[in-house]
Structure 1
Amino acid sequence: MALLDSEVWGKKLFGDGWRDSAAAHPVVEPATGGRLGSVGVATPEDVRRAAARAAEAQRAWAATSPQRRAAVLRRAGRLFTEHAAEIEDWLVREAGSVRAKAAFETQLAVGECFECAGLPTHPQGEVLTSEEARWSFARRRPAGVVSVIAPFNFPLILGLRSVAPALALGNAVLLKPDPRTAVSGGVVIARVFEEAGLPAGVLHLLPGDGEVGRAVVEAPEVRVVSFTGSTPVGRAIGEQAGRLLKRAHLELGGNNALVVLPGADVHKAASAGAFGSYLHQGQICMTTGRHIVHESLLEEYTAVLAAKAEALPVGDPAREEVALGPLIDRRQLERVHRIVTESVAAGAKVAAGGEIAGAGYRATVLTGLTTDMPAWREEIFGPVAPVIGFSTLEEAARIVEDCEYGLSVGILGDVGTAMKLADRIESGKVHINDQTVADEPNAPFGGVGASGTGSRFGGAAANIDAFTETQWLTVRPEIGDHPF
């Protein structure tokens, strides 16, 4: 039987195995509008039951030996490898991914599981000095129940990068994927861990709307909330979690800058810029949203970038070889086009694209911008590359920093000059001689400002900090003497 046979998961929720849900949501192919199936939809009452069951199951899972927990993560990694073709098909059809992006995301999932398999046996604390005649330790304990709320754009990896380390460190998880990608961002993860031998009740799949999102934050058993998504929703979740005295790890939006320094190889720089702006139709928090090019290269860079944009075919990645697939839905498509047309009305010029193409949007280059135009100020989340010039390094730094977001920056050209610029920039990630989109399971991931609450994912240190609590433990050889 296929891993993702709809007879297993159709119109069902996952926790203690699969059970029928009271309601269902259609799984829609954004390229065609066709229906791919129906996924179960949770209610707030489903969340309350799942949270109580997760808290119960978590105690036994946390007491499971480190090697047994690690073995589940390793088996999950192998299952992602064995079923890669099937998973990639779902990422193409449900999320609108082109084949290369779907393969990249699936391979990231494999790496995430194997990286997290090392967490159960990683040192979980330190020995402290003490003024008393005792041993003193700071030890890490599982947080308990973790809620993971994941978006539609990289649905598999952006859910798994919290689910996998949380499970590895002995927590139970409530997973709420975006309803638009509930199979590739939810069912896939549940089925893989089910087949990998994760005990019943430790992982719960709860697709749903904002009401369900509020419930997975408010459930009293939940101690940590890991959210990836838009900045406005992240702010609301942060406020909600703060009122309830829960930790919230927020990975939010970005309007990321790519700086092209004088003397840079224009053709390589434009290739990097095109990749950064157009991968997955620009629907990535790390997408290159602002191209800041030295005035000596501005005209040539814009022309080369525009030529690359014009050469990128748009279409249905499940049925043809294309570079850009559909946007996730019509609402997002119209939003992208509105931002472009409003910027053009304000004086920007279209060097390439600027048109809706079926369910997708043509790769677009905008010039003649000012920094107050919508295409420059807003996170577009579409395949649009706004280009502006600069004359001095100080001006480039000011333009980069004149933004509420602080997720990722790329700097192309002379390394020494790039290092000086990098030291002046507040950003969660800086990539010298690379574009803005990058992710590796062992690297810290996160942003500052409106991009979130810092690096809360990736690597042992960030994951352990995110999904455990620190406990002070002391031990005396015998009961001590006290003055009372």
Structure 2
Amino acid sequence: MSDGLLSSSRWSGRYFSNGWQPAGSQGAVTEKATGERLETIGLADADAVSVAVGIALGVQRSWAEFPYDARAAVMRRAGVLFEQHAAEAAEWTARETGAPLAMAERAQGVAAQECYEAAGLASAPYGELLRSTAPRLSFARRRPVGVVGVIAPFNAPLVLAIRAVAPALALGNAAVLKPDPRTAVSGGVLIARIFEEAGLPDGLLHVLPGGADVGDAVVRHSRVPVIAFTGSTGAGRAIARAAAERFKRVHLELGGNSALVVMGDADVARAAAAGAFGSFRHAGQICMASGRHLVHESVVDDYLAALTRIAEGTTVGDPLDANVGYGPLIDSGQRDRVHALVTESVGAGAALLAGGTYDGLFYRPTVLGHAPLDAPAYASEVFGPVAPVVSFADADEAASLAADSPYGLSLGIITRDVMAGLDLADRVSTGSVHINDQTINDEPTAPFGGLRESGSGGKHGGVQSNLEAFTELQWVTVRRDLPTYPS
């Protein structure tokens, strides 16, 4: 599809592991909006993981000993390359993932910024002097863990991979990345090509698309001490069990069913627009999506009317069209799951005010009014363009409803009384809170992570969080002379 950075003559039928290697099996790269086959990706297997980790271990130490400014320079070049090839990469991303072109373009900018922030990590202070009662120098220092395993999902494949790959590399580690095979170009090939052109030494980054067996091999490999996984809660639970048996550190970014609370003093029209963005962005295929709309009873009817108008006016279609609100769901399995949740919720008593229909993989934005608390689309993570709305009477009930979820990823609160918003936020256990905004927010400079079934509480983003995620702390003491011990 491209003669530029992503020219398929280099990678078609191959995967990246110390160069582009021919694969024993292959998978189709398809355009989700049309079903057209775009290219062929090479698929790795468990044996490829073992080979990749062995190669990575052989070169990681020398990379860690590189001057910090040399590592930073690679990261900066990678950032520049993401910017220079943004248009080409965004088209691939939109066609392969179904994300709107504007969202795909933004992903390239986020990836560039992740690399620039990672460049700063290379020169960040990495230790502290400690007091000691003995006549010695005592300090703690952070050292690279060695090889970091990264397993990334389909929905935002570039961003959710690079936010672990870039800081891990910048801090002196090697990385083995397993992208989802459904989005292996925008979430894998692109990253490999960027770092290949940026001058990353051979053998430090391995990109191995494949199925669950490949991910399992990464998690279980004895020489991969840290795993960064983004995906479903069910898969995260299995990874946590396997990692615990091997005393590995895992950073789990899992599912969510985030609440958007609209207080009675909110500007209803603007709140509904924010809610629509939070639920319908990228067809709802975002872990931070606004999965539960909690609206004060005094404004809930107006809110439902405004949200329904937005849903009915949203265009669903080819993500390359700038006038399209969002594109297709990732596959028929996800579409059928979304539709089942909507149908069962209507059967449970929710009012279907908009949507609830589909054409191929294109699912119409759906509004479910006055949803019962046990309606599946309210109680579960839908991962589709569905907005269930429930009313509340006062702040106590709003806090109770917002906290009544096994997830704890993001919370949005819309109110003119910011202090009341902060008070409400204090009563809900969640990884992030956004007052006067919807729930989808993420920045390379900010720590990001979920609680309970949304993750292990580990964070990505920001200097301190990335240092803690991708290094190990070592205590060192130095004496001028060996002490005299009894002999």
**Residue equivalent to 1:225:** 227
1:123-272 to structure 2, matched below 5 A, reads 123-272=125-274
**Residue equivalent to 1:379:** 381
CA distance in structure 2 between the aligned counterparts of 1:331 and 1:15, rounded to whole angstroms: 31
- Given residue 317 of structure 1, which amino acid in structure 2 is its aligned partner? P
Aligned: 1:470 with 2:473: yes
Q: Contact 1:314–1:357 at 8 Å: present in 2 too?
A: no
* Shift, 1:455, TM fit: 4.0
* Shift, 1:305, TM fit: 0.5
Further displaced range: 209-218 or 353-362? 353-362
* Shift, 1:281, TM fit: 0.5
CA distance in structure 2 between the aligned counterparts of 1:264 and 1:432, rounded to whole angstroms: 12
* Shift, 1:320, TM fit: 6.4
TM-score (ref. length: structure 2): 0.98
1:30-429 to structure 2, matched below 5 A, reads 30-319=32-321, 321-413=323-415, 414-429=417-432
CA distance in structure 1 between the aligned counterparts of 2:279 and 2:170, rounded to whole angstroms: 34
CA distance in structure 2 between the aligned counterparts of 1:288 and 1:320, rounded to whole angstroms: 23
Q: Contact 2:458–2:469 at 8 Å: present in 1 too?
A: no
How many residues end up aligned between the 2 structures? 484
Q: Contact 1:444–1:455 at 8 Å: present in 2 too?
A: no
- Given residue 478 of structure 1, which amino acid in structure 2 is its aligned partner? D
Aligned: 1:461 with 2:464: yes
- Given residue 433 of structure 2, which amino acid in structure 1 is its aligned partner? V
* Shift, 1:221, TM fit: 1.4
Q: Contact 1:315–1:358 at 8 Å: present in 2 too?
A: no
* Shift, 1:301, TM fit: 0.4
* Shift, 1:368, TM fit: 2.4
Q: Contact 2:251–2:469 at 8 Å: present in 1 too?
A: yes
Q: Contact 1:150–1:158 at 8 Å: present in 2 too?
A: yes
Structure 1: give runs of 5+ residues left out of the alignment.
Answer: none
TM-score (ref. length: structure 1): 0.99
Counterpart among 16, 35, 43 of residue 14 in structure 1: 16
Percent sequence identity over aligned pairs? 55
Q: Would you identify which runs of 4 or more consecutive aligned residues in structure 1 move more than 4 Å?
A: none
Instruction: After superposition, give the CA deviation of every residue in 1:312-355 in whole Å (9 maximum; x if it has no partner).
Output: 00111135631010000011011101100011111111111111
Aligned: 1:447 with 2:460: no
* Shift, 1:357, TM fit: 2.7
Q: Secondary structure at the match of 1:226?
A: strand
Q: Secondary structure at the match of 1:430?
A: strand
CA distance in structure 1 between the aligned counterparts of 2:255 and 2:341, rounded to whole angstroms: 17
Q: CA RMSD in A?
A: 0.9
Change over 3 Å in CA distance of 1:368–1:137 after alignment to 2: same
Q: Secondary structure at the match of 1:445?
A: coil
* Shift, 1:191, TM fit: 0.3
Q: Secondary structure at the match of 2:95?
A: helix
CA distance in structure 1 between the aligned counterparts of 2:150 and 2:485, rounded to whole angstroms: 46
CA distance in structure 2 between the aligned counterparts of 1:364 and 1:38, rounded to whole angstroms: 35
* Shift, 1:358, TM fit: 2.9
Q: Secondary structure at the match of 2:134?
A: coil
Structure 2: give runs of 5+ residues left out of the alignment.
Answer: none
- Given residue 212 of structure 1, which amino acid in structure 2 is its aligned partner? V
Q: Contact 1:428–1:455 at 8 Å: present in 2 too?
A: no
Q: Contact 2:352–2:369 at 8 Å: present in 1 too?
A: yes
